[in-house]
Each structure stands twice: as structure tokens, then as C-alpha cells.
């Protein structure tokens, strides 16, 4: 069997979006699970949409997610160049072959004429498609126009009557009537190929075995099959992935912040969770397991288990998954990944027992990395006490509780460490004869400025002796 070779072929928008990552991931998983090759090709033939460094940005985004590319721009491979704007000669040569064999023709129609033609077709209720005005030009007329340097495009002559039958690995046997297909432009007036010609030519010369792409390209497949036939080539195996949908089942939003992978990373989602979540946008395993590492995905993924139906982008599920990773990665790992978010808010933490303990408590209650910072603020800074808090701290019971601990904590550091390991709250409640809310509220308010939160020994451990004492003293010294 031929080697499996798949390609991710993004247009250079400069950022990786959710849909692109899903295609790249499925390409990658399919390649890895079959011993095949995963290729990156940059489809930059639309000169109006060029973005500088697009290839570098995409490669680094994929690498950040852990997806390694076998062949591509800047990476190398035997089938390059992997950027379409560097392959123009190849497309021109193939377009010439199509012209020579009569499958393609020059079209000199102006934009005005084409607009007028379309309007008239619309008024008559007809299909809007090129009326083949230039197909009737004689060879000499074409030569003359070309010699005069008249602006032109090259069009592919689509068959008049043709139902294209083909198999899609996910959708099964399909038939698509192409009788009403437009004579597709394959070389534009700027001399660049359109996507259709370039993709078919590259897929052939790069020996792509499976074309894995979004469902939005399904309607172009008859054109691509026809192009392959005209050029005398076999078509690759077609694999069209289901659409990704918003919650209301509309097509996934195009707003960059909603779909750019980087923006999810910035929001504090783990790359493992994003990848895991994206893997399940259209695929699931036989046993419906939900949490997968990339290695596991490489092992279990199969195109046969990809659905036809649109996959809903459910942010609640991504949040849930992120929470799972938040609680299952090692504490040190979570802390290290959270550090930049702490720094951004002016807290410089070190990786030590205290900060790890803080993360251990915080991660039970947080979904995203920045939420850890918000949670840990109770330890890292002292919020101002509100009038209500001050009043609660000023009661006779509160002052008794606070004074008790101020005295108790007046010990050397070593004793403090041992002391908080004992069941201090129970012993204190017994001795003071103050229980429940009356006991806990003043301590929590003094120590963390809120009535609810972690258990007292954890608070003491994280704050340490000096800070605990200082916060209790501050509360006791309040002038109400």
C-alpha cells in the first residue's frame, strides 16, 4: 500500500483557529496512528490576504500544542517548496497542459460584462454561471488578444452533464450533480492559481493519500475530481470533517477572539485540555472515554469513528475538561503555568512549599489559570475591611477569640509549625466556650477578609506565623 501522507493546508491568516487546529490534529493523529507523514502546506495564492510570517506563526502555534510537522516550510522534505507562492511555475505548466488538451480556455471578459451577465441571469431566474462567451473565440483571436496583453483568466471547462460519484471516508458513497457547475477560474488575472488548481496540483505532486478537510469543501470535490481526471491523475481519498457549530447550531463564529487558539491559551486554558476538547469535536472512542492525552489519542484515533453530524463547540465542556486537567496535573506544573498570570497582577511567587500549598487549595475551586490568582489574593494581599466586617470583629466574642490566638501564636516559629498541626480550633472552642460562626467568623475575617474559605490550619500554614499574627493584631487594634 502507498504510504499515508496527509496535509494541513491553511491559508495564511496569521493565527491558528479552532477549526484549523481540529483539521491539523486529525491529520496528525491519522498520520501517527498509521505510520504516515503529516505535511504543512501554506496556501497563499490569494495575494490580498497575505500575512507576514504566517508560516512561522502557524508552525509555532502547532508546535506549542505538541503537534509535530514532518514536512513543511522551514522544516524541509522531499516534496517542497511547501508554500504555494513558490510553486507558480508548476501551476502554470499544468494550466498550459489543460489549455493544450482543450480542458481549459482563456477568458477575456471584463468585470463589467460579468456583472451584467450575472444580473441578467438572476433576473431570468437562471443559475448564475459563466456563459462561455470566450469559449467561442478562435485560436487566432485568442493569440491576438494575448499578444496585445489583454487582461485574462484561465477557466476550466466543466462537463455539461455529469454526476460525480465518489466515496468519502466519513460520509460513504456520494453522488453530486455537477451539470450546473460554473467554469471555474483556475488561473487569475494576476497569474496566480486559484485554490482549486493549486490544491489539486499540490496534492498530486506531494503524493497526498487522503485529503482531510472541513465539510465546507465538500461541494468543491467534483471540481477537484474533474481536474484530476483532466490532468490524467487519480484522486486522493476524500475525508470531509463535520462542521463545527455554535451552541445554537449556527456555523462557528468567525470572531478572532472566539476562535483563535492563542486566545484560549491566553485566557488560561491548558493546551492539553484544548487539544483533548478539540479531538472530541467530531470523534469519540468506542467506550466514550473523554479524557485523553495526546499519546492516547495517537493510539485510539481512527477516521472511521468521526461523525458526519456537525459538532457543537460547547464551552461548558471545555471548562469542565480544563478543571479536570487543573486537578490532575502536578501541583508544580500548575504553579509554573500560573506564574505569568501572578506576575501580570504584580505578585512574584517562588516555587516553594507555601505557594504549592496555596495552589493545592485554590485549584479545587478554579477552572482557569487566572482564577488561581484571584483566589490566592486572600493570602497574597490584605483587602480593606468593610464597615460590616469591622463591626463583626469588634464584638466581645470576636475580640476574645482574636486575643486568644494572638497570645497562643506568641511562640517561636518552630512551635507555631507544630501547634497548627494539632486540632487547635477544637481546643480553642472548648477553652473559650465560643463555637461555630462566632468562633470562625472573626478569625476568617481577620486572616482572609471573608467569612468562608479554606480551613484555618491551611490558612495559618500558608500565611505563616508572622503574617497570621500581624493580621490578627490589626483586627484587634481596629478602632470602631
Give the active site residues: 254
SS (H, E, C) 369-424: HHHHHHHHHHHHCCCCCCHHHHHHHCCHHHHHHHHHHHHHCCCCHHHHHHHCCCCH
| Binding test (CB under 6 A) with ligand GLU, winner from 217, 320, 347, 404 | 217
Residue 233 found at the interface with ligand GLU (CB under 6 A) = no
| Binding test (CB under 6 A) with ligand GLU, winner from 6, 10, 236, 269 | 10
Residue 228 found at the interface with ligand GLU (CB under 6 A) = no
CB of 11 to ligand GLU, least distance (A): 4
CB of 81 to ligand GLU, least distance (A): 16
Look-up of cell digits 499540490? 202
Residue 323 found at the interface with ligand GLU (CB under 6 A) = no
Q: Cα–chain-centroid distance for residue 34? A: 24
d(CA 215, CA 244): 9
Residue 197 found at the interface with ligand GLU (CB under 6 A) = no
Residues binding ligand GLU: number (CB under 6 A): 8
Residue 17 found at the interface with ligand GLU (CB under 6 A) = no
Give the number of C-alpha atoms closer than 13 A to the C-alpha of residue 273, restricted to the C-beta side.
25
Q: Nearer Cβ to ligand GLU, position 43 or 272?
A: 43
CB of 220 to ligand GLU, least distance (A): 8
Q: 221-245 burial, b if ≥16 CB within 10 A, otherwise e?
A: bbbbbbbbebbeeebbbbbbbbbbb
Report the residue closest to ligand GLU, judged by CB: 213
Say which residues have a Cβ less than 8 Å from residue 227's Cβ, sequence separation at least 6.
Answer: 156, 186, 196, 197, 200
Q: Nearer Cβ to ligand GLU, position 16 or 369?
A: 16
Q: Nearer Cβ to ligand GLU, position 52 or 112?
A: 52
Q: Please report, to the nearest 10 degrees, the dihedral formed by the alpha carbons of residues 355, 361, 367, 373 taken in order.
A: -40
Residue 166 found at the interface with ligand GLU (CB under 6 A) = no
The answer to whether the beta carbons of residues 55 and 73 sit under 8 Å apart is yes
CA-nearest of 194, 211, 204 to 228 is 204
Q: Nearer Cβ to ligand GLU, position 9 or 158?
A: 9
CB of 110 to ligand GLU, least distance (A): 28
| Binding test (CB under 6 A) with ligand GLU, winner from 5, 6, 9, 456 | 9
Q: Nearer Cβ to ligand GLU, position 13 or 395?
A: 13
237-241 and 210-214 strand pairing: parallel
Residue 408 found at the interface with ligand GLU (CB under 6 A) = no
d(CA 441, CA 423): 18
| Binding test (CB under 6 A) with ligand GLU, winner from 37, 196, 213, 465 | 213
Say which residues have a Cβ less than 8 Å from residue 196's Cβ, sequence separation at least 6.
Answer: 156, 184, 186, 220, 223, 224, 227
The answer to whether the beta carbons of residues 357 and 455 sit under 8 Å apart is no
Tell me, residue by residue from 39 to 58, as one string, x for binding to ligand GLU by CB under 6 A and - for no binding: ----x---------------
Q: Which helix (H) or strand (E) covers residue 227, if one does?
A: helix 221-231
CB of 467 to ligand GLU, least distance (A): 55
What does the DSSP 8-state code read for residue 78? T
Look-up of cell digits 443559475? 127
37-40 and 5-8 strand pairing: parallel
The answer to whether the beta carbons of residues 27 and 51 sit under 8 Å apart is no
Residue 222 found at the interface with ligand GLU (CB under 6 A) = no
CB of 132 to ligand GLU, least distance (A): 27
CB of 99 to ligand GLU, least distance (A): 24
Q: Nearer Cβ to ligand GLU, position 195 or 342?
A: 195
Q: Nearer Cβ to ligand GLU, position 44 or 272?
A: 44
Residue 200 found at the interface with ligand GLU (CB under 6 A) = no
Residue 199 found at the interface with ligand GLU (CB under 6 A) = yes
Binding residues for ligand GLU (CB under 6 A): 9-11, 43, 195, 199, 213, 217
Amino acid at each position: 500500500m502507498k504510504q499515508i501522507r496527509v496535509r494541513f493546508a491553511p491559508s495564511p491568516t496569521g493565527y491558528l483557529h479552532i477549526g484549523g487546529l481540529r483539521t491539523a490534529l486529525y491529520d496528525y493523529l491519522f498520520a501517527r496512528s498509521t505510520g504516515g507523514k503529516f505535511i504543512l502546506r501554506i496556501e497563499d495564492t490569494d495575494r490580498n490576504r497575505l500575512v507576514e510570517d504566517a508560516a512561522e506563526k502557524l508552525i509555532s502555534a502547532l508546535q506549542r500544542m505538541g503537534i509535530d510537522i514532518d514536512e513543511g516550510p522551514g522544516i524541509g522534505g522531499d516534496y517542497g517548496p511547501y508554500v504555494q507562492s513558490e510553486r507558480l511555475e508548476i501551476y502554470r505548466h499544468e494550466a498550459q497542459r489543460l489549455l493544450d488538451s482543450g480542458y481549459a480556455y482563456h477568458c477575456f471578459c471584463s468585470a463589467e460584462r460579468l456583472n451584467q451577465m450575472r444580473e441578467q441571469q438572476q433576473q431570468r431566474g437562471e443559475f448564475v454561471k459563466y456563459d462561455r462567451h470566450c469559449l467561442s473565440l478562435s485560436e487566432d483571436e485568442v493569440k491576438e488578444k494575448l499578444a496585445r496583453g489583454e487582461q485574462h483568466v484561465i477557466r476550466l471547462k466543466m462537463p455539461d452533464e455529469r454526476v460525480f460519484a465518489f466515496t468519502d471516508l466519513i460520509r460513504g458513497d456520494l453522488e453530486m450533480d455537477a451539470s450546473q457547475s460554473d467554469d471555474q477560474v483556475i488561473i487569475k488575472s494576476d497569474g496566480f492559481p486559484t485554490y482549486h488548481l493549486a490544491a489539486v496540483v499540490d496534492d498530486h505532486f506531494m503524493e497526498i493519500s487522503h485529503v482531510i478537510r472541513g465539510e465546507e469543501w465538500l461541494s468543491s470535490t467534483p471540481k477537484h475530481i474533474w481536474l484530476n481526471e483532466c490532468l490524467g491523475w487519480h484522486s486522493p481519498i476524500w475525508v470531509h470533517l463535520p462542521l463545527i457549530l455554535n451552541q445554537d447550531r449556527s456555523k462557528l463564529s468567525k470572531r478572532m477572539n472566539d476562535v483563535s487558539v492563542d486566545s484560549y491559551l491566553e485566557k488560561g486554558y491548558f493546551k492539553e485540555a484544548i487539544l483533548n476538547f478539540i479531538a472530541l469535536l467530531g470523534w469519540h472512542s468506542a467506550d466514550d472515554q473523554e479524557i485523553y492525552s495526546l499519546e492516547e489519542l495517537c493510539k485510539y484515533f481512527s477516521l472511521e469513528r468521526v461523525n458526519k453530524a456537525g459538532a457543537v463547540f460547547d464551552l461548558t465542556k471545555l471548562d469542565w475538561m480544563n478543571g479536570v486537567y487543573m486537578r490532575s496535573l502536578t501541583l508544580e506544573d500548575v504553579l509554573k503555568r500560573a506564574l505569568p498570570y501572578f506576575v501580570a497582577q504584580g505578585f512574584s511567587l517562588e516555587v516553594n512549599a507555601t505557594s504549592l500549598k496555596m495552589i493545592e487549595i485554590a485549584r479545587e475551586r478554579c477552572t482557569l489559570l487566572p482564577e488561581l490568582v484571584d483566589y490566592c489574593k486572600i493570602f497574597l494581599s490584605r483587602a480593606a475591611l468593610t464597615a460590616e466586617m469591622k463591626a463583626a470583629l469588634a464584638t466581645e466574642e470576636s475580640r476574645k477569640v482574636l486575643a486568644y490566638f494572638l497570645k497562643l501564636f506568641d511562640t517561636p516559629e518552630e512551635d507555631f509549625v507544630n501547634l497548627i498541626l494539632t486540632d487547635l480550633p477544637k481546643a480553642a472552642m472548648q477553652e473559650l466556650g465560643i463555637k461555630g460562626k462566632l468562633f470562625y467568623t472573626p478569625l476568617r475575617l481577620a486572616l482572609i477578609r471573608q467569612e468562608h474559605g479554606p480551613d484555618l490550619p491551611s490558612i495559618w500554614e500558608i500565611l505563616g506565623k508572622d503574617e497570621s499574627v500581624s493580621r490578627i493584631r490589626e483586627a484587634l487594634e481596629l478602632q470602631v
